[in-house]
Amino acid sequence: MEQVQVPPPPSPPGTAPAPRARVNGGRLRRPLLIVFLLAVLLVLLAPLTTTDQADSLGVPVLVDRSQIRILTTVAMFVVMASGWNLVGGLTGYGSFGNVAFFGLGAYTCAVAVDVHRLHLPMAAGIAFAPLVPAAFAALVGLALLRLRGHYFAIATLGTAVAVGEVVKNVDYLGGATGLFPPILHSADLLFLYLMVGAALLAVIVSRLILRSRFGYGLIAIRENEEAASVIGVNTTAYKVGAFTVAAALTGLAGGVFAVWNSFINQELGFSLDFNIQMILMAVLGGAGTLFGPVLGVIVLEFLLQNVAGRSDVAVYAQIGLGLLLAVTVIFVPRGIVDFFGGSSRLSLAHLRRALRETSA
Amino acid sequence: MQLLLQQVVLGLLIGGIYVAVAIGFSLVWGILNIVNLAHGALVMVGAYVTWLLFAHAHLDPFLSLPVVAVALFAFGYALQRILINRVIRAPLFFTLLLTFGVNLMIVNALLVLFKSDFRSVTPSYSGSGFGIASVQVPYIRLAALGVAVVLAAAVGVLLNRTRTGAAIQAVGADRDAARLVGVDLRHVYALTFAVAAACAGVAGALISTIQAITPTAGEPYTLQAFVVVVLGGLGRVGATVVGGLVFGLVETLGQTMVPGLGAGWANAIAFAILVVVLIARPQGLMGRRP
């Protein structure tokens, strides 16, 4: 997972800049342009809030409800995988429980908009959604981030399971039945925009972090935490900071999901499926890189929708997911992004080498 | 007082199950440095083998223990040799991901084979027990505790009194040094995992006699095994026994004696124990400070 290219030190005057830097710049600029264009497109489309309007105007894609659902799901996982990437990829703390933040965000929003509870407008619910998970992450992060390796992974997994169980046992939060945020019939495209907006926000935040002092500090922690501490990185603050930002982003996705789905319970909010999918997407695409998680989401969603999703029995999809995990971990541990301009090519020789590097 | 005594007995008996589940988990973690997220799934494979033998061959679950152990030993050996050996030198997180993938495959293969129906193994003596001064002791749970203790002793003897055990411990202490003195690493890795899988199978056989089994019923046991190993301290069989019994005790007392909690809180209690131990005593109850 060492593939974030730390830019080479500035070359002394008179020498040509390192070719690597130029390649990286060119490689990053085009996807960033796409991010920008998507943002513009989002602003332009914003007045168009229902599929009926889209139908009457003849806008493609936005008239097909199943396409909209898939696009919204893709955007949702982009948020979650990018959020996980900040902790698991950039900081090197392999969290196994980020779905706790998703669930907390979803429940925060659901409680806020519920008619029998706070009964606030939807915008307020979504605005509150990142706050509770972020506060929770800052609090438990102080304890959990003292752990490393297996201990950290299982402790985070335990957090997710335990928080889900507590939520299920509290009547105010709907207990085992769950909560039902009001259904918004009048604007079925709105949730696509909201989720894509959240995804763009996640990518932009990741990009800002990657190129900041904060981001370099996180990478330093991943490479060698003691050394990072010695050179003056406040490791606790940095780690908890990354955990909190990841929680806020993931919680935002959860909040939008709650109103989009207009139903949330423990199984949905703290779904271990979502939990593992966001990790698999980030690792499959390329953990620690900016666009790796995005690529991973697109590839995995494509596979799930077209290969696994087509078989009527969900168990085969699950077996396929397990198989994909195994294949990814064994053959493409650096992620797909690595094949584009990275050190690896998708070739039999490379796959064999990857296998040899980690085998007994 | 009466209730407390009864719950202490039940807690220790259920602790025996946790000991059986955690022995194999601890072995793989200590020797291979892999936290096996498929451990609970292996437990369920053992439970289903027991159920098959009981339902179709009318074999007593305690008599089928050797068969289950041998079957799971072979399965575990193949699993490690073919799949998990491929990532043994990869970063820790990748072994977690791989074993999670294995877990998904096993659980869903069980769902395909057995559906999600509840199955149970009910020999004629299930449900009966004896009483000492009005404290009830169910026969099956007592026998399960006995089997768990014997299993722990057997693994202890294997590790400390045999040549194979010496090789396994050598690999756990220093892989490269072990290879230099002629240990076949791939074989020993597979052997270690196979022993762990056999233990998981035995645990599954015991579990099939005390609760209804479904393909997903093994998942809580992975988290519980982890808590038991952290609680006792990694590395010694004796520590796992202590960890399992203490965990069974605390969980049972927590669910029955603390007002407001109940059976729905099992995972939250396990997690609370985990966090407290990790922060207050990271080396475990029985471990030495590193």
Look at residue A313 in the predicted model and tell me its pLDDT. Answer: 63
Three-state DSSP state, B259: coil
* Closest CA in chain B for residue A147: B278
Within 8 A by CB and 6+ apart from A19, the residues are none
The answer to whether domain A26-359 has CATH 3.30.70 is no
Look at residue A309 in the predicted model and tell me its pLDDT. Answer: 55
CA distance A150 to chain B (A): 7
Q: Where are the domains of chain A?
A: 26-359
Calculate mean pLDDT across residues B19-44. 94
**B-chain residues near A161 (CB < 8 A):** 223, 267, 271
CA geometry: angle B70, B86, B100, nearest 5 deg: 70
Look at residue B257 in the predicted model and tell me its pLDDT. Answer: 79
The answer to whether residues A277 and A98 touch, using CB atoms and an 8 Å cutoff, is: no
Tell me how crowded residue A348 is: count the other CB atoms within 10 A of its CB: 7
* Closest CA in chain B for residue A153: B93
Which of these ranges, A39-43, B60-64, B212-216, has the smallest mean pLDDT? A39-43
Within 8 A by CB and 6+ apart from A200, the residues are A35, A38, A39, A42
Q: Which residue has the higher pLDDT, A34 or B279?
A: A34
CA distance B124 to chain A (A): 35
CB pairs under 8 A between A and B: 132
**B-chain residues near A280 (CB < 8 A):** 97
**pLDDT exceeding 90 applies to what percent of chain B?**
61
Tell me how crowded residue A11 is: count the other CB atoms within 10 A of its CB: 11
Whether residue B204 has pLDDT greater than 60: yes
Tell me if chain B has a CB within 8 Å of the CB of A31: no
Look at residue B23 in the predicted model and tell me its pLDDT. Answer: 96
The Cα-based distances of A178 to A84, A130, A250, A263, A266 in angstroms read 26, 20, 20, 7, 7
Calculate mean pLDDT across residues A75-91. 95
Calculate mean pLDDT across residues A81-104. 94
CA distance A165 to chain B (A): 7
Contact across the interface for B267 and A162, Cβ inside 8 Å: yes
Tell me if chain B has a CB within 8 Å of the CB of A94: yes
**A-chain residues near B186 (CB < 8 A):** 360
CA atoms within 13 A on the CB side of B141: 18
Of B101, B108, B268, the CB nearest to A325: B101
Contact across the interface for A358 and B111, Cβ inside 8 Å: no
Q: Which residue has the higher pLDDT, A22 or B51?
A: B51
Look at residue A13 in the predicted model and tell me its pLDDT. Answer: 44
Interface of A with B in 164-193 (CB under 8 A): 165-166, 168-169
Look at residue A16 in the predicted model and tell me its pLDDT. Answer: 41
Interface of A with B in 253-282 (CB under 8 A): 276, 279-280
* Closest CA in chain B for residue A352: B86
The Cα-based distances of A172 to A135, A200, B221 in angstroms read 20, 33, 29
* Closest CA in chain A for residue B282: A147
Q: What single DSSP character describes residue B84?
A: G
Contact across the interface for B279 and A151, Cβ inside 8 Å: no
Which of these ranges, A74-83, A183-192, A231-240, A290-299, has the smallest mean pLDDT? A183-192
Of A279, A358, A360, the CB nearest to B97: A279
Q: Which of A11-25, A61-75, A283-297 has the highest mean pLDDT?
A: A283-297
Look at residue A186 in the predicted model and tell me its pLDDT. Answer: 67
Calculate mean pLDDT across residues A69-77. 92
Tell me if chain B has a CB within 8 Å of the CB of A353: no
Per-residue pLDDT tens for B98-154?
998 999 999 999 999 998 899 999 888 877 888 887 888 899 999 999 999 999 999
Per-residue pLDDT tens for B68-96?
999 999 999 999 999 999 988 888 888 88
Look at residue B288 in the predicted model and tell me its pLDDT. Answer: 59
Of B103, B186, B223, the CB nearest to A158: B223
Whether residue A8 has pLDDT greater than 50: no
3-state secondary structure chain A: CCCCCCCCCCCCCCCCCCHHHHHHHHHHHHHHHHHHHHHHHHHHHCCCCCHHHHHHHCCCCCCCHHHHHHHHHHHHHHHHHHHHHHHHHHCCCCCCCCHHHHHHHHHHHHHHHCCCCCCCCHHHHHHHCCHHHHHHHHHHHHHHCCCCHHHHHHHHHHHHHHHHHHHHHCHHHCCCCCECCCCCCCCCCHHHHHHHHHHHHHHHHHHHHHCCHHHHHHHHHHHCHHHHHHCCCCHHHHHHHHHHHHHHHHHHHHHHHHHHHCCECHHHHCCHHHHHHHHHHHHHHCCCCCCHHHHHHHHHHHHHHHHHCCCCCHHHHHHHHHHHHHHHHHHCCCCHHHHCCCCCCCCHHHHHHHHHHHCC
Calculate mean pLDDT across residues A114-137. 92
Tell me if chain B has a CB within 8 Å of the CB of A358: yes
Per-residue pLDDT tens for B156-181?
999 999 999 999 999 999 989 999 99
Cβ-based burial of B62 (10 A; exposed 0-12, middle 13-18, buried ≥19): middle
- Inter-helix orientation angle B237-257/B266-280, to 10°: 130
Size of chain A, expressed as the number of residues it contains: 360
* Closest CA in chain B for residue A2: B91
State which amino acid sits at residue B107: V
Calculate mean pLDDT across residues A147-156. 86
* CA pair distance B181, B159, nearest whole angstrom: 18
* Closest CA in chain A for residue B80: A360
**A-chain residues near B101 (CB < 8 A):** 321-326, 329
Calculate mean pLDDT across residues A160-171. 89
Backbone torsions φ then ψ of B209, nearest 5 degrees: -90, -15
**A-chain residues near B223 (CB < 8 A):** 154, 157-158, 161
CA distance A323 to chain B (A): 6
Whether residue B289 has pLDDT greater than 70: no
CA distance B129 to chain A (A): 33
Contact across the interface for A322 and B103, Cβ inside 8 Å: yes
Look at residue A11 in the predicted model and tell me its pLDDT. Answer: 41
Look at residue A1 in the predicted model and tell me its pLDDT. Answer: 41
Look at residue A20 in the predicted model and tell me its pLDDT. Answer: 40
* CA pair distance B287, B290, nearest whole angstrom: 9
Helices (H), chain B: 2-27, 39-57, 65-82, 92-114, 139-161, 163-173, 175-180, 185-210, 219-232, 237-257, 266-280
Look at residue A312 in the predicted model and tell me its pLDDT. Answer: 57
* Closest CA in chain A for residue B215: A315
Confidence of residue B240 (pLDDT cuts 50, 70, 90): very high
**pLDDT exceeding 70 applies to what percent of chain A?**
87
CA atoms within 13 A on the CB side of A125: 29
Whether residue A17 has pLDDT greater than 50: no
Per-residue pLDDT tens for A301-356?
888 777 655 555 677 878 888 888 888 888 888 888 887 766 666 677 777 777 77
Three-state DSSP state, B11: helix
Q: Which of B81, B85, B97, B277 to mutate to test the interface with A (most CBs of A within 10 A)?
A: B97
* CA pair distance B27, B39, nearest whole angstrom: 11
* Closest CA in chain A for residue B216: A315
Q: Average pLDDT, whole number, for chain A?
A: 84
Predicted ipTM of the assembly: 0.83
CA atoms within 13 A on the CB side of B198: 20
Contact across the interface for A319 and B104, Cβ inside 8 Å: yes
